Structures are given as C-alpha cells and as structure tokens.
Amino acid sequence: MTETSAPAGPAPAPPAYPQARGCPFQPPEGYARYTEQGPVSLVELYDGRRVWAVSGHEEARRVLLDAATFSSDRVHPHYPATAPRFEAARKVRNFIGMDPPEHTVQRRMLLSAFTVKKVNALRPGIQRLVDDLLDAIEAKGPTADLVPDFALPVPSIVICELLGVPYADHAFFEQQSRRVVTGTTSLEDSADAFAQLSSYLDGLIRRKEREPGDGLLDTLIAEQLAPGHLTHRDLVDIALLLLVAGHETTASAIALGVYTLLRHPEQLAAFRAHPTVLPTAVEELLRYMAIADGVARFATADTELAGHRVKAGDGVIVVISTANRDEAAFPGADAFDVARGARHHISFGHGVHQCIGQNLARAEMEIALSTLFRRFPGLRLAVQPDALPLKEPGGVQGVWELPVTW
C-alpha cells in the first residue's frame, strides 16, 4: 500500500480542482494529470486544502456506494467545499447533504413521485410542452437561442407543474438558481441567492397550508409536515433542492446534448436514422458530457483506496468526467457513440445518493432531443463553436447560449 496521505507537506503542490473546460463536452485538459497518477490522486482546492480526486470508474463507484465510510454530511467541517459558493450551501439541510438514516427518511418521502410509472404518465404532457415550444421557435425563425427558448423552459415548466410552483415566477427562481449553481459565484452572492429562494419557498408553502393545491409540495405538506414528520424549515430546504436541481441540470443537459450531436454529424445521422437508439443515445450523452462533474465526500474512518491510505477526515472528490472516460469501463471512452449502451455511467451518481430525478431527466432529454431533430432536420449552429460562452468550473457544466439556425 502506498504510504501517501492528504495532509500538506513540502512536496510540490498537486494540480488544482476544479478546472475550466476548453470544450463544453470534454473534461478539462488539466485533468489528464489526475489519471496519469492512477485512479486516485491528490488535488488542491481553491482554499489550499488537499483532497483525494477519484478518477477511476471502479473506485468512484466504490466511494459513492460506501456511504458509511464516505460521508455526504455538508454541515460537517471535514466536508470539502470545491468553491466559495459551497460554503453557503452548508446551511441548506436536505437529504442530498445527509447520511443514512436521516437521508433515507427524507428520500423515501419523495420516491413515489419519481418512479418510472409516474414519469411515464408525465410523458404526454412533456411532449405537448415540447411541441408548443418548437411551434413558437418555428414561427419566430429562422434563428433561435435554444437555451432560453427551449432547453431551459422544458424542465422548468415540468418541475413547476410537478411541485405546484407557479411558473409565472420562473424568471425569479431561474435567476437565483443560476447564482446558486454558477461555479464562480462568490460566497456572499450564493448566500443571498439561497436566502431569496428560501424566502420565496417559505411564503409559497405557507400559502399552500392555507389553500392546498395538487402538487408534490401540497402532498408533502399534508402527509409529512402536518403530522410533524418534517419541520417547516425541512420542507423549505427540500423544495429548494427539487426546484433548483429539477431544472438547472436538465436544462444544461438538453442544450449541451444538442451541441454535442451537432458537433458529431455521423452520430447525429445515426440518431435520426434509428429511433430505437434514442435511450442508448441519451445514456451516452449523459456519460460523455458529465454535466455535474464533481461529487464531494469525506472519509469517516481510515481506509485504503487504490493503494493510498485515506485518513479519517480526508476530503474526497469523485471526478465524474474522468470516471466516465475510464477505458476499463468504457472501451474507446473518448469516442462519442450513440449506440454504445453506457447505462453504467455515474452521471446520476451511484448508491443511496443516486439522483432521485433521473427518470424524469431521461424522459425530458429523450422527448426534447428526438422532437427537435425531427422537426428541424436542417438545424445547425449559427455561430462558430469557439464563440459559445461556457459555464464556469465548479458548477453545472454546459453553455450559456446556443444560437442555431435551420
């Protein structure tokens, strides 16, 4: 076993984490230094803290699966913050930042709303929404910015309807959500965004207590808040997670999925020619793009990971983009292949914290991408690829704009 541990010493500083992407669907070039050192190596965060970067697929799955040894508790001082904005997130307490059994209790309250059966029942409504948005784009044409005109409203409207949040307020919560998930947001701005979203949801939940509706928040009020299984603060924090995660990540995935297909014309041709490839194409996009590129944990006990001695309290970052490009798990991993069948990727995580909304995200991506390319067979970028503004490191990955023409 290699006698290496995370505390700083006189050795040269390890590479930084996170780093900026040069291409929106490729890992940062600097991440090659991680994999050159093996599936686990030391990296340095913005505040100088040294933590373990897990770049191998097998090792990443082990960390994500072992919730007892690798904690998700964001309140704990050992939990690594990969950007200043994450310090503000420590104050938001919901199941994504908890360990079992506390995590398990909250997650079970929500599982029934995101089953395959429930999501399949939503598909006709998602299809109508996508058709309406594309009708509007076509009427305005022949150019559009697919981020505000398509990729963002699809998941935003769907999550609003699911939760029972008024879509009329979307401009407010989309603006605040952007401040929460943008990698370069300062601690002060992030804290303010969290406060504004929390205040908005606090008021919405109180109104729903007086005037119930039929959304998921109304169900949670009746079944969990009223009997005392959740506090009001608990429900606000859960609602904040569902609202922000429910549209930000999928919006990026749809926009970047369009861009990735346009940049791989031979794969786009296969995508169009064989409708049966749609589910595997979406899985390959999820693997290849790695929208949420880092998952933080800390070790609760001394352990061994890929020959390294990881001490209790050491921070650990699972680097999704490199784990999803591990040749041992995905032969020819740097190639984009819509027929690959890459469902064992870890873009939705793994283990008890695997994304609760993954079935909904898949449905939204499948319907949005297939319908867009069917309706607009001549779709192409309206700008040079290197002119697209990329999202910053440390947040949800993707592009801020996607100008297209047809």
Q: Strand pairing partners for 348?
A: none
**Could you give the angle at which helices 170-181 and 187-210 cross, rounded to 10 degrees?**
140
For residue 394, the model assigns a pLDDT of: 80
Taking the model in full, what pTM does it have? 0.93
Q: Please state which architecture CATH assigns to domain 29-405.
A: Orthogonal Bundle (1.10)
For residue 10, the model assigns a pLDDT of: 54
For residue 1, the model assigns a pLDDT of: 43
Return d(Cα 146, Cα 138) in angstroms, integer: 12
Per-run averaged pLDDT (10 residues), the chain, 406 residues: 47 89 95 93 95 98 97 95 79 90 96 96 98 97 96 96 94 86 74 91 97 96 97 96 91 98 97 93 98 95 97 98 97 96 94 96 98 97 94 89 98
Q: Residue written as tokens 């995905």?
A: 330
3-class DSSP assignment, residue 381? strand
Return d(Cα 271, Cα 282) in angstroms, integer: 10
**Where exactly are the structural domains of the chain?**
29-405
Q: Which two tokens stand for residue 342?
A: 């890459």
DSSP 46: T
Pairing outcome for strands 50-54 and 315-319: parallel
Return d(Cα 50, Cα 42) in angstroms, integer: 6
For residue 252, the model assigns a pLDDT of: 96
Number of residues that this document lists for the chain: 406
Kindly write down the DSSP assignment for every residue of 110-145, as one continuous string.
Answer: HGGGGSHHHHHHHHHHHHHHHHHHHHHHHHH-SEEE
User: Residues 26-38, buried b or exposed e (16+ Cβ, 10 A)?
Assistant: bbbebbebbbeee
